[in-house]
Structure 1
Amino acid sequence: MNIVYLLLGVNLGARHEQLRKAAAEIEEHVGVIIERSSIYETAAWGMEDEPSYLNQVLLIETELKPQLLLAKIHEIESRLGRTRLKKWGSRLIDIDILFYNDFVIEEEFLTIPHPLLHKRKFTLLPLSELTLALMHPVLKKTIQELLDELNDPLEVRRLSGLDSLTDSN
């Protein structure tokens, strides 16, 4: 089995429901969810005039190889209404592979670890809930060290009690 950390993000539609649907699709088509972070709300990164995002990190186990995992993730995003119109634009769902075991992959359409994870508070905060000691295989720093060195001014806040909430925006 392979250990994978995925980042889910959404800033359009029924955001909480989209996160739930994405997790259900991942369990059905990708692998077993071992652990979930809290859900965080953050201003849009890279396109500050866009609606705020909800983000969550999932720790999963999967038998899928990295390239097939990426293909399955793209299928899930498509089923949930994702269209790829502009970089960092608003979306109904975004699923990023943060880590896949301790693999380092640099291909045209797949880079693992995610090349921007160490620069994004909305990624590192939920990831830090699941692991502080995980070593970034390229930067040779733990998640805790990356978080300590982070210089990301965007506001990121942890939400709680979300299982009972619904959200229409």
Structure 2
Amino acid sequence: MEKVFIGLGSNVGDRKKNIDTAIKYISQIMTEISVAPIYVSKAVGYENQPDFFNTVVSGFTELSPEKLFRKLKEIEEKTGRIKRFRWGPREIDIDIIFYGKTIIETRELIIPHPRAHERDFVLKPLSDIQPDFLHPVLRKTVKELLLNLKHRSIIKKL
């Protein structure tokens, strides 16, 4: 069993329902789940779109990183994600932020998430449930990464 952290975001349709539905599916493939509060943030990249609802889920899984990744993509489909364009609006976006202390970089999968340490909408909810988690590459805690963050996109806690 590995402890994993999953990031969720939605900015199309009923954003809260999209996240709640995805968490319901995630709870079928993980145990001992903790869910951080939802934060509202401005979009990153293509900024001319609605604000995102973001949260982080932690829990344990027996799935390998690759199998977990495939299951999360299936959950995105079940939750109604429509592929539009990079950085574009989405019904749901689900990413593996951390998978224990595992470091993976393939064409399909990068763990830890390559930009999680730059995004307050990931770090803030993550700090609400595991502030002392040590980033396996940067060797800094989530709390330290959040304190040193320069760009802020969070507007409010939902």
Normalising by structure 2, what TM-score? 0.96
Distance 2:150 2:13 in 1: 30
1:61 corresponding residue in structure 2 = 60
Q: Is the 8 A contact 1:47 1:88 kept in 2?
A: yes
Root-mean-square deviation (CA), in Å?
1.0
Q: Is the 8 A contact 2:39 2:154 kept in 1?
A: no
Counterparts of 1:54-133 in structure 2, within 5 Å, are 54-133=53-132
State the one-letter code of the partner of 1:153.
Answer: R
Instruction: Give identity over the alignment, percent.
Output: 41
Distance 1:122 1:33 in 2: 23
Distance 1:153 1:128 in 2: 15
Q: Could you tell me how far 1:84 is from its partner in structure 2?
A: 2.3
Q: Could you tell me how far 1:154 is from its partner in structure 2?
A: 2.0
State the one-letter code of the partner of 2:100.
Answer: N
1:42 corresponding residue in structure 2 = 41
Deviations 1:31-87 (A, max 9, x none): 125211001001111121110000010001111000000000000101111122211
Normalising by structure 1, what TM-score? 0.90
State the one-letter code of the partner of 1:81.
Answer: G
- Secondary structure of 2:27's match? helix
Distance 2:153 2:6 in 1: 21
Distance 2:141 2:60 in 1: 21
Q: Is the 8 A contact 2:15 2:53 kept in 1?
A: yes
- Secondary structure of 2:83's match? coil
2:6 corresponding residue in structure 1 = 6
Distance 1:68 1:91 in 2: 23
State the one-letter code of the partner of 2:157.
Answer: R
Deviations 1:7-50 (A, max 9, x none): 0100001111111100111112x212521100100111112111
Distance 2:115 2:41 in 1: 16
Distance 1:35 1:153 in 2: 24
Q: Is the 8 A contact 2:119 2:152 kept in 1?
A: no
Q: Is the 8 A contact 2:119 2:151 kept in 1?
A: yes
Q: Are 1:15 and 2:23 matched, yes or no?
A: no
1:164 corresponding residue in structure 2 = none
Distance 1:156 1:99 in 2: 24
1:156 corresponding residue in structure 2 = 155
Distance 1:92 1:157 in 2: 20
